[in-house]
Amino acid sequence: MSVPEEHRGSLWNVLTNVGVAIGGAIGLNALLRTLRGQPEATPLLKPPLAGPAEHTPREEIVEAVVAERQHSYLDDGYTVRSWLLSTDHKRIAILYMLTITLFFFIGGIAATIIRLQLVTPQGGLVQTATYNRMFTIHGIIMVWFFLIPAVPAVLGNFLLPLMIGARDLAFPKINLLSWYLFVFGGLFTTAAVIGGGVDTGWTMYAPYSSLYSNSQVLAAAAGIFITGFSTIATGVNFIVTTHTMRAPGLTWFRLPLFVWTIYATALIMVLATPVLAITLLLIFAERVLGIGVFNPAQGGDPLLFQHLFWFYSHPAVYIMILPGMGIVSEIIPCFARKKLFSYTTVAIATFGIAGIGFLVWGHHMFVAGESMYASLLFSILSFLVAIPSAIKVFNWTATLYKGSIRFQTPMLYALGFIGLFTVGGLTGLMLASLAVDVSLHDTYFVIAHFHFIMVGGMVMAYLGGIHYWWPKISGRMYPELWGKLAALTIFIGFVLTFLPQFVLGHLGMPRRYFHYPPEFQALNILSTAGASILGVGYILPLFYLLWSLRHGEKAPANPWNATGLEWQTASPPPKHNFDATPIVTEGPYNYQPEESERDNRSSEESERDVSATPGR
């Protein structure tokens, strides 16, 4: 068993190395070349497209910026050193973006191998041991090295200071440190993959992980442990920044919802991550020193591990989805040209989710041997945590009512998010129902459920956000047609991949199965077929976004004619974000659907509005 496996390990090794090399080379090279190509890249600020007159006080600032012709943050140095030692939150966000993209594709390769393996009931593509390593790596990489940092560390880092009118985060050096911790942790985990892989599943249940597994649990756990401190550092930074560095006039209830969700996310990061850290430390000690806090043979309790693990990992799910909700709450009002329906409720619901989210971890353990009364409590709380999410969905839907809706790429992603998140949330109700969960627990139903939330929800929102703020980040417009094509491909591929898995789970196919009974094959083939479409969908943006860095149209300061402070400064923003500290005099999302229509009609003859074509 071990010889062919090493063989495969080395193939994997080569794959990752090539991946790292290609990814790094393309990313850095393209970035640096682009930047060198346009040393005076500061775009001339066009006045907002359909300039409604609602921002008069802020427009003066915009003009001031134009007058100064500042250098953008991208022109603050072209050396590798100027990037790797930068404490500018915008540059650190770019660093994060490159890193997590790399990890996303590593996790994606693992997912591809899993799906290909499952085409036939008896497998044949890889060995059992390799398969177990693939789903473990897929889980670990996607959870800790993509989903958790994706929106907070990339978009949150880039946007939080811009949205609250600050020059930077409160602790820029800690921000840079957190990226290095992240990379360092990532290296440990990559080392674990190259050194033979981990086969515990991302949940690393004791005593399997602490005593029985012969794989690289230590290196993987060390990687996650270190990355945890990166998360904590980011969380502390965001909380302090939101509290102390808001621009004058920017009261709490004038904050954009993205800031609210990032703030709630940061709270969870700070309060949940340390518990994971100590748990991993105990697993570490168990493997190295032979002490047995979770080992029943030594008087330990394996359920304690599960409690501690889920006390972190359930709130961590909200670390992943809350910022996604924040993005959707930004995109929908902007492209519907309408105030967000019931802003205050959405803001409070965010905190409802974050708060109750801490009290539902036991719903992962209904059949693990916890007491029946504990299960009852966790069940009812799990039902209740769904309510704030439902409120948000209803509010987004109501926002569309009487709007003036355009269907650019970010909006397509946001609408896709609503649909997929709704399905994911509703299937969560079945899993919260005690009697039903007994049979659905640890089956593909659960897999489908959380992929609808995590991939259908979070990744859709992340991509929507990337497209929405791409002009701000890069100073270039992405190609709209390709953007729409990719959004549709991802949506279709996603549904095809994961809808059959609900049925599989209901039929009883357990998760993490290498072999499965032949009657499940048809649905598995369907799922794999969908995954291939999904894979294409994910690769598309990589290409056209990189292409746009050089060839994209130059972006104006406010291409979407959106509200929010980040659109009041140049694209890309100058090093210190704002030339003069902005002063805020009104709440967010002050959009007027009727004005948008009126402007459209007056300019209809002069300029054909490409974006008004419905996307689907």
Min separation Cβ 18 and another protein, Å: 28
Closer residue to another protein, CB minimum distance, 23 or 425 = 425
C-alpha distance from residue 16 to each of 100, 107, 190, 200, 543 (Å): 14, 10, 9, 20, 19
Closer residue to another protein, CB minimum distance, 340 or 562 = 340
Q: Is 515 in the site for another protein (CB under 8 A)?
A: yes
Min separation Cβ 438 and another protein, Å: 5
Residue 559 dihedral angles phi and psi, to the nearest 5°: -65, -30
What is the spatial distance between Cα 358 and Cα 546, in angstroms, rounded to a whole number? Answer: 39
Q: Which residues between 240 and 269 bind another protein (CB under 8 A)?
A: 240-241, 243-245
Binding segment (CB under 8 A) for another protein, from list 182-190, 194-202, 469-477, 488-496: 194-202
Residue 603 CB partners (closer than 8 Å, separation 6+): 50, 609
Q: Is 196 helix (H, G, I), strand (E, B) or coil?
A: coil
Residue with structure tokens 């709630």?
264
Residue of 162, 334, 336, 495 that binds another protein (CB under 8 A) = 336
Q: How many residues does the chain have?
A: 616
Q: Is 322 in the site for another protein (CB under 8 A)?
A: no
What is the spatial distance between Cα 116 and Cα 137, in angstroms, rounded to a whole number? Answer: 16
Q: Is 2 in the site for another protein (CB under 8 A)?
A: no
Q: Which residues between 154 and 173 bind another protein (CB under 8 A)?
A: 161, 166-172
Q: Is 19 in the site for another protein (CB under 8 A)?
A: no
Residue of 517, 586, 602, 607 that binds another protein (CB under 8 A) = 517
Q: Is 596 in the site for another protein (CB under 8 A)?
A: yes
Q: Is 348 in the site for another protein (CB under 8 A)?
A: no
Closer residue to another protein, CB minimum distance, 431 or 486 = 431
Min separation Cβ 385 and another protein, Å: 10
Q: Are 73 and 574 in contact (CB under 8 A)?
A: yes
Q: Is 354 in the site for another protein (CB under 8 A)?
A: no
Q: Residues of 237-254 as b/e, b for ≥16 C-beta within 10 angstroms?
A: bbbebbeebbbeebeeeb
Min separation Cβ 516 and another protein, Å: 7
DSSP string across 520-544: GHHHHHHHHHHHHHHHHHHHHHHHH
Residue of 63, 68, 553, 594 that binds another protein (CB under 8 A) = 594
What is the spatial distance between Cα 459 and Cα 314, in angstroms, rounded to a whole number? Answer: 18
Q: Is 343 in the site for another protein (CB under 8 A)?
A: yes
Closer residue to another protein, CB minimum distance, 32 or 386 = 386
Q: Is 116 in the site for another protein (CB under 8 A)?
A: no
Q: Are 94 and 473 in contact (CB under 8 A)?
A: yes
Residue 248 DSSP symbol: T
Residue 247 DSSP symbol: P
Q: Is 297 in the site for another protein (CB under 8 A)?
A: yes
Q: Is 301 in the site for another protein (CB under 8 A)?
A: yes
Residue of 275, 316, 319, 354 that binds another protein (CB under 8 A) = 275
DSSP string across 19-86: HHHHHHHHHHHHHHHHHHH-TT-PPPPPPPTT--GGGHHHHHHHHHHHHHTPPBGGGS--SHHHHHT-
DSSP string across 83-101: HHT---HHHHHHHHHHHHH
Nearest alpha-carbon partner for 259 in 271, 275, 247, 274? 247
What is the spatial distance between Cα 600 and Cα 52, in angstroms, rounded to a whole number? Answer: 11
Q: Which residues between 20 and 39 bind another protein (CB under 8 A)?
A: none
Residue of 4, 47, 249, 290 that binds another protein (CB under 8 A) = 290
Q: Is 583 in the site for another protein (CB under 8 A)?
A: no
What character string, x for contact with another protein (CB under 8 A) and - otherwise, covers 426-465?
xx-xx-xxxxx-xx-xxx----------------------
What is the spatial distance between Cα 215 and Cα 349, in angstroms, rounded to a whole number? Answer: 42
Residue of 119, 191, 356, 384 that binds another protein (CB under 8 A) = 384
Q: Is 212 in the site for another protein (CB under 8 A)?
A: yes
What character string, x for contact with another protein (CB under 8 A) and - otherwise, covers 537-556?
--------------------
Q: Is 499 in the site for another protein (CB under 8 A)?
A: no
Closer residue to another protein, CB minimum distance, 30 or 391 = 391
Min separation Cβ 76 and another protein, Å: 13
Closer residue to another protein, CB minimum distance, 38 or 521 = 521
Nearest alpha-carbon partner for 556 in 574, 569, 546? 569
